Amino acid sequence: MKAILNLFVSIATQPAILVALIAMLGLLLQKKKSTEVIQGTIKTFAGFLVLIGGAGILSNSLTPFASMFKFALHVQGVVPSNEAVVAIALVKYGTTTALIMLVGMIVNILLARFTRFKYIFLTGQAMLYVSCLTAVILVSAHLGSGWQTIVLGGIFEGTLLTVTPALCQPFMRKITGGDEVAMGHTGNIGYAISGLMGKWFGDSKKSTEDLKIPQSLGFLRDSTVSITLLMGIVYIILAIMAGPQFVEKNLSAGNNYIIYAMIQAGTFAAGFVVVLQGVRMILGEIIPAFQGIAQKLVPNSKPALDVPIIFPYAPNAVLLGFFVSFIVGTLSMFGMIAMGTTVIIPGVVGHFFCGAAAGIYGNAAGGRRGAIIGATVNSLIISWLPLFILPVLGGLKLAASTFADTDYLIPGILLGNLGGFGKIALIVGILGFLACVLILSAILTQRAKSTKANQD
């Protein structure tokens, strides 16, 4: 049993394998030639590996950024890190987490099949992290690690991962110019809020991508050039603030600190280029292959994919969202120091991926102003809500770190506080969540039928 669980987790937490298998299934359902099935499966697999590799390059180039930032400002505290919390929790709750994930995937597929929310969540590591969060909270509420926890946890996770892409889809249509792909990330609640903020307070006529650049500076229209230059300035300033002794002794292996900063900026830009290539490969294969699943198994379903999938649509919003998010996170940190609370140090990787996406969503609905407002609001959420989830995790000695994204924080806080009222409250809350989604789906379906009847 344990070996089977390990195999399942190994497949499900590797997006490249999971999505390649989904693509293969879609192509087989369309009765494509064996050569087309092989080609589509391998290109989807390779495309996801390219995307993951690019994201890894970006993350690795941001690690020295975080080190220089902490040293220059002399701050200590809790750094939100999904990976750190999950690594601790899986030691004790690995089996429960895996089974919750399995049930959650089944619930997601069933809801996509029988409700209006036609989104199949395909970001494996995000599913694992949500499963782990759910296991930690349910066990801490004294449900144990038996079938109740597994079934209830799976219902909660599957419902959450079906609904959150639906929240984002109105904005995804604006971002991508179509309705073929959905957002499958654990920042979805924050992205939807960012889109709403942009819609309400922004100006969609002034996009971040329409910035007027003088002809003499036309080379800046190339995203690789502009990202390298901008990140180069930021890295060099941070390196100067941290000082040559710290950088050369702890980060650059003795190489000149300015040169090191420039290399990291160029590495960041290179990672971005790799991500763009991976996105092109995935979209070119997974969307046609997914039509087979949509036609046969889950009609009209859409794949919900990881956050870098939207980066090519608004490169300027990516940078604007990141910097706004990180600045707001830094100011929030100083606010916590002044207030004497636990200090949440802004996680550079979290603020990059979530801040960039929030900027893109805000821009899609409200232009430049929307990007700034959306990234600001999202940053405030991921900067301050960790203070409220720490008490939920602290009983299990996980308070040395905490979860980082909105879809862990908001549902986790609600679920954790619900658990404080006992088992019955937790069971009623989770089943009530599922019931609300089913009722909402029925209402929206009826409304759509009435609208169509009136038009006819």
pLDDT tens digit sequence for 307-329: 888 988 988 898 899 889 989 99
Band of pLDDT at residue 159, cut at 50, 70 and 90: very high
| Burial class of residue 399, CB neighbours in 10 A (0-12, 13-18, 19+) | middle
Residue of higher predicted confidence among 355 and 82: 355
- Per-residue pLDDT, averaged over 49-78, amounts to 79
Q: What is the secondary structure of 216-257 as a DSSP string?
A: GGGGGGSHHHHHHHHHHHHHHHHHHHH-HHHHHHHTSTTS-H
Residue with tokens 């989770």: 430
Distance from C-alpha of 329 to C-alpha of 273, rounded to nearest angstrom: 26
The reported pLDDT for the residue numbered 276 is 75
- Find out whether 235 and 396 touch, Cβ atoms under 8 Å: no
- How many other C-beta atoms can be found within 10 angstroms of the C-beta atom of residue 118? 20
- Range ranked top by mean pLDDT from 66-70, 231-235, 333-337: 333-337
Q: Which pLDDT does position 393 carry in this prediction?
A: 65
At residue 37, the pLDDT reads 87
* Structural element, H or E, at residue 302: strand 302-305
Identify the pLDDT of residue 350. 82
Q: What is the pLDDT of residue 237?
A: 87
pLDDT of residue 9: 66
pLDDT over 50 at 285, yes or no: yes
Q: What is the number of other CB atoms lying within 10 angstroms of the CB of residue 396? A: 16
List beta partners, residue 183.
Answer: 305
Beta-strand runs (E) in 20-61: none
Give the C-alpha separation, 169 to 182, whole Å. Answer: 6
182-183 and 119-121 strand pairing = unpaired
Q: What is the band of 286 on the pLDDT scale with cuts at 50, 70, 90?
A: confident
- Residue 156 is which amino acid? F
At residue 223 the predicted structure's pLDDT band, cuts being 50, 70 and 90, is: low
Tell me what the pLDDT averaged over the chain comes to. Answer: 84
- What pLDDT does 445 receive? 85
What band does 397 get if pLDDT is binned at 50, 70 and 90?
very low
pTM for this predicted structure: 0.82
| CA dihedral for 108, 110, 115, 119, sign (positive or negative) | positive
Strand partners of residue 302: 119
Amino acid letter, residue 392: V
Give per-residue pLDDT as tens, 245-274: 999 888 888 889 999 999 988 888 888 788
